Structure 1
Amino acid sequence: MALLGVALAVSALVTACGGSALSPSYVRAANDAVQGQVAGGAADGGSSSTTSDPGAGGTGSAQSTSGDPAGSTRSSTSGGGASAGTGTASGTASGQPGPSGGTRTATAGTSATGGARASCAGFHNQTGITDKTITIANVADISGPVPGIFTSAQQAVKAYVAYFNATTSLCGRKLTLLPMDSRTDPTADQAAYLKACSNAFAAVGSMSAFDSGGAGTAQKCGLPDLRAAAVSDARNACTTCFGAQATDLHAFQNAVPDFFLAHYHASTQHAAMLYVNAAASVENARTQQAVEQKRGMRFVYSASFDVAEFNYTPYVQKMKQKGVRWVQFVGSQDEAVRLAQAMQNADFKPDVFLLDPTAYDPTFVKSGGSAVNGAFVFIDFTPLEEASTSKELRLYEAWLQQVAPGAAPSYFGIFAWSAARLFGAEAAGLGGRLTRAALVDRVRHVDGWTDHGMHAPQAVGPKVNSSCWRFLRLENGHWQPVGGRRYLCHGSTKLN
């Protein structure tokens, strides 16, 4: 069951929610983030207007505007859409909501603390803070049925701590990391958070398949928990817990069906959904299929398989009989590879074989070989192949090599680094007013967070997943952009 839990956890990350109305400035901000640029636009309460969802097949793109890469980290939301703060050459973005519900100005510089710092007057020691250090905890699945599944998240936080300590301090204090292993087990996750409550000021960049274990513990002690992502309802319900990749497990992004309806319309009318038959994966697959049908796709086959099942040939034969041309899969990497191999052995070649972002991993490419050639993934971050376009991604990669030589950057590492960056920025913004409660209140109002353009805007405080996604296709062992390098921003559909 632990192995199943890992599959369920990673599949949960593909769900999203949010209103389907997106302002033009939000779309522009998201796409400018890919370029590492500031997007101009009205601040919250300004004159920008929201428009209804462009619908299936819409482009959702806009021309980029120039600006300082440092200024593209955050934007504010207003109603169902979002508007980017006005950018300046100094990297200042306005319109960021403040703790009181109003707006505040955030300077998104390139230092380890993100730019603007508040006065250190009144700073005092407290749990996890001494005269010289601020201790942050990281809880990740290092051991378990899939050893090292989230090691990259912990490595990313170690990399940030090294970067921070080499370049700056916070009110005279350096960071100390308390790394812990949640062992792919809810009890271990809870035990780790009990330790974090007593010994750390905050938890940063954590990533666990069974993250429900420590959710109640974190909330009870008031521990700020700025995670890579949350994968359970319990963790999302935790009032002190937030994901740098924000998630809602009961909705799905419109950009995915809309993209394929626009570019592979005939194939989408002969679609199939395959998924592992257990808990969250069942709900995720059914939600995704329902949303895709509402957007205009037509499913001719849907089936689940048991986690212990290794023979996927019967499912492949059914798809061939049904004339399936578009296949979406919800499950683990290993299962996706087995399905791809079964399709290859049966000479079944659908036009589209679609996987979630967790397939964007060297292990999937290597183990799948020729069988996974042509697979699609949808992502909401700058792919590693495009690191030359992202200073932030290169910074993460460089410091990762400092703390873990030879380690490969990853999807989970990107968002764990982003969580650490967010912690640094928000803690520095509080300065002498830094407390656990103040940090939680500040993060609660963070929206449109992109970590200097490394990923699509994330509604961290509202816990609404990104509305903006782009697509890659595996070609001869290399991921290539499909439909350009710009995000498609079409909101999400949440089923009641």
Structure 2
Amino acid sequence: MYQRSVRLVGASLLVLALAACGSRLDPNEVAQAGGPGQQGVVGDGTGVVAGDGSGGDTGGTGGTGGTGGTGSTGGTGGTGSTGGTGGTGGTAGSPTTGKGSSTGGVKAASCAGFKNQTGITDKTITLANVADISGPVPGIFESSQQATRAYIEYFNSQGDICGRKLAVNLLDSRADAGADQQAYVKACDEAFAAVGSMGAFDAGGAGTANDCGIPDIRAVATSPERQGCKSCFATYAISTGLIPDSFAKFMAQKYPDAVKNAAVLYINAGAAVPNAKSMAAGYEKGAGWKVNYVQGIDVAEFNFAPYVQQMKSKGIKAVGYQGPYQNTVKLQQAMQQQGFKPDFFWQDPTIYDQRYLQQAGSAADGSWIYSANALFEDRGNAEVQLYLSWLQQVKPGAIPNYYGLYSWSATRLFVEKAIALGGKLTRASLVDALNKTTAWTGNGAHTAMNLATNSTPPCLKAVQYKSGKWQQQSPGNYMCGRVVSSGVS
């Protein structure tokens, strides 16, 4: 009903990272996780963040995923998904004025006529964040809830919207369409808007969000149904059939022979299938590549060796993959075991994650990604450093990833639009404002995104992992080129 011919080019993690996590899960469990009609349990998730600042979880495990600023570690706050409780103030060095401040330096409209409404009381504006937290891969999109909480903590440490602090209800969509739908029923009834949400089966709540008109500013919209929802937007906006040619041309200049005999492999499920085929066709059409091997790998496949052998026999010199980073590790390790070393290996930013590096080990060396956002290693990018700093404030030890960064961006977007509307803030007026947003960069966190049309951005970075770190290899900030129609949708 809410179809739009749009899916996510970088859908590799979204498709089955949560439903498969490589081949670790039993196939029956995988099928059950995403099956139609499955009714998940929506977490209560009331995470009120309505003080001045530094409540947080008691910690976490894993590396920090980058060399960015660490900020303060914050208080010990509540555990689980209860959000911060306010407290001792903001992170040292956070800007209080201008574009880098929590208000983005937006001129505040008059608050005259401001009315309490769904999710808004005299003291609080309640938002919702819906993400896959439990399910086949626990915590798969926890970074989106962490980032949303982090921005709300940041904002509440500095100001308010017409006298009201922000609060957030953290809801669990459980990697399940039924749970996503239940979560959006709750969000429609209790929250003014949803921000920073992230789920692989987000079709479930698309109709609910559309019908109730709740502004839904997501990190990514993963299904055509969600992308067709009239009140839903994504700060990472991409169309399946439109492929930017900048990365493909950069690699063609660097590896002119390799791109004439390339392979594209993908997890054989969901949106990864058209996305991989669209990328292969787009690279051929836009940059003169020749992709001679396009192959899906089933979700339950344990043995990657036959696919590696096929590539060896075909003399493949460049390998691309679309799928969860756990499967990337299995593919690259199989390549390593069979002594197959193409001229280059590439993927989307799914593998731009400290956990991928930890699992892949030496197999990760030399890998390339294309990225539409700034790197966590970029100490000169103030917005990225704010994200990293405040992430550690709410969840010490949390590992950042690009889904979290786009959730941070989505929460900032809500704040800036709400402040600009002032006393005219309603669900409908916010949706109207978002429909006019054509070049949103999240204060420099990522390349310009057109939320109004959900168009693929033409600008990317080329980044390589070598000498133990991710390094941008392309010139300038972003390479900008054409957006090519692949003919695949």
Range of TM-score over shorter length: 0.7 to 0.9
**Pick aligned residue for 1:397 from 368, 388, 394:** 388
1:8 aligns with 15
Paired with 2:122 and 2:370, the residues of 1 have a C-alpha distance of 45
Amino acid paired to 1:112? S
**Pick aligned residue for 1:339 from 331, 335, 343:** 331
The C-alpha deviation readout for 1:134-181, integer Å capped at 9, x for no partner, is 000000111111111110100001011111111000000000111111
The C-alpha deviation readout for 1:406-441, integer Å capped at 9, x for no partner, is 112211110000000000000001000000000000
Secondary structure (helix, strand or coil) at the match of 2:475 reads coil
2:484 aligns with 493
Amino acid paired to 1:384? F
Q: Please state how far the C-alpha of 1:256 moved relative to its aligned partner.
A: 2.4
CA distance change for structure 1 residues 10 and 424 in 2, over 3 Å: closer, same or farther?
farther
1:250 touches 1:494 (CA, 8 Å); kept in 2? yes
**Pick aligned residue for 1:310 from 302, 311, 324:** 302
Q: Please state how far the C-alpha of 1:10 moved relative to its aligned partner.
A: 6.7
* 1:122-271 correspondence to structure 2 within 5 Å: 122-271=113-262
Paired with 1:261 and 1:337, the residues of 2 have a C-alpha distance of 25
Paired with 1:283 and 1:220, the residues of 2 have a C-alpha distance of 28
Paired with 1:265 and 1:224, the residues of 2 have a C-alpha distance of 46
1:109 aligns with 99
Amino acid paired to 1:334? Q
1:9 touches 1:231 (CA, 8 Å); kept in 2? no
Note if 1:323 corresponds to 2:315: yes
Amino acid paired to 1:8? V
1:349 aligns with 341
* 1:288-303 correspondence to structure 2 within 5 Å: 288-295=279-286, 296-303=288-295
Query: Given the two structures, how large is their TM-score scaled by the length of structure 1?
Result: 0.78
1:207 touches 1:230 (CA, 8 Å); kept in 2? yes
2:448 aligns with 457
Identity %: 47
Q: Please state how far the C-alpha of 1:110 moved relative to its aligned partner.
A: 2.8
Note if 1:360 corresponds to 2:367: no
1:325 touches 1:352 (CA, 8 Å); kept in 2? yes
Paired with 2:13 and 2:179, the residues of 1 have a C-alpha distance of 15
**Pick aligned residue for 2:419 from 406, 424, 428:** 428
1:89 aligns with none
Q: Please state how far the C-alpha of 1:9 moved relative to its aligned partner.
A: 6.0
Q: Please state how far the C-alpha of 1:285 moved relative to its aligned partner.
A: 1.1
CA distance change for structure 1 residues 236 and 352 in 2, over 3 Å: closer, same or farther?
same
2:7 aligns with none
Q: Which has the higher helix share?
A: 1
Paired with 2:294 and 2:391, the residues of 1 have a C-alpha distance of 41
1:370 touches 1:476 (CA, 8 Å); kept in 2? no
2:91 aligns with none
Paired with 1:449 and 1:418, the residues of 2 have a C-alpha distance of 9
1:381 aligns with 373
**Pick aligned residue for 2:397 from 406, 416, 428:** 406
The count of residues paired between Structure 1 and Structure 2 equals 397
Secondary structure (helix, strand or coil) at the match of 1:135 reads strand
Paired with 1:366 and 1:252, the residues of 2 have a C-alpha distance of 30
Paired with 2:165 and 2:16, the residues of 1 have a C-alpha distance of 33
The C-alpha deviation readout for 1:239-284, integer Å capped at 9, x for no partner, is 0000011122333221221111122111101111111222311111
Secondary structure (helix, strand or coil) at the match of 1:265 reads coil
Structure 1 spans left out of the alignment, 5+ residues: 12-106
Note if 1:446 corresponds to 2:466: no
Secondary structure (helix, strand or coil) at the match of 1:389 reads coil
Q: Please state how far the C-alpha of 1:7 moved relative to its aligned partner.
A: 4.8
Q: Please state how far the C-alpha of 1:493 moved relative to its aligned partner.
A: 1.8
Root-mean-square deviation (Å)? 1.7
**Pick aligned residue for 1:369 from 351, 361, 373:** 361
Paired with 1:273 and 1:410, the residues of 2 have a C-alpha distance of 24
The C-alpha deviation readout for 1:280-301, integer Å capped at 9, x for no partner, is 1111111111111112001222
Secondary structure (helix, strand or coil) at the match of 1:385 reads coil
Q: Please state how far the C-alpha of 1:471 moved relative to its aligned partner.
A: 1.2
Amino acid paired to 1:396? Y
2:217 touches 2:410 (CA, 8 Å); kept in 1? yes
CA distance change for structure 1 residues 134 and 9 in 2, over 3 Å: closer, same or farther?
farther
The C-alpha deviation readout for 1:327-366, integer Å capped at 9, x for no partner, is 1111111111111001101111111101111110011111
Amino acid paired to 2:332? A
2:391 touches 2:398 (CA, 8 Å); kept in 1? yes
Structure 2 spans left out of the alignment, 5+ residues: 1-10, 19-96
CA distance change for structure 1 residues 326 and 183 in 2, over 3 Å: closer, same or farther?
same
Amino acid paired to 1:356? D
Amino acid paired to 2:326? D
Paired with 2:111 and 2:180, the residues of 1 have a C-alpha distance of 34
Secondary structure (helix, strand or coil) at the match of 2:377 reads helix
The C-alpha deviation readout for 1:111-153, integer Å capped at 9, x for no partner, is 2122211111110100000000000000011111111111010
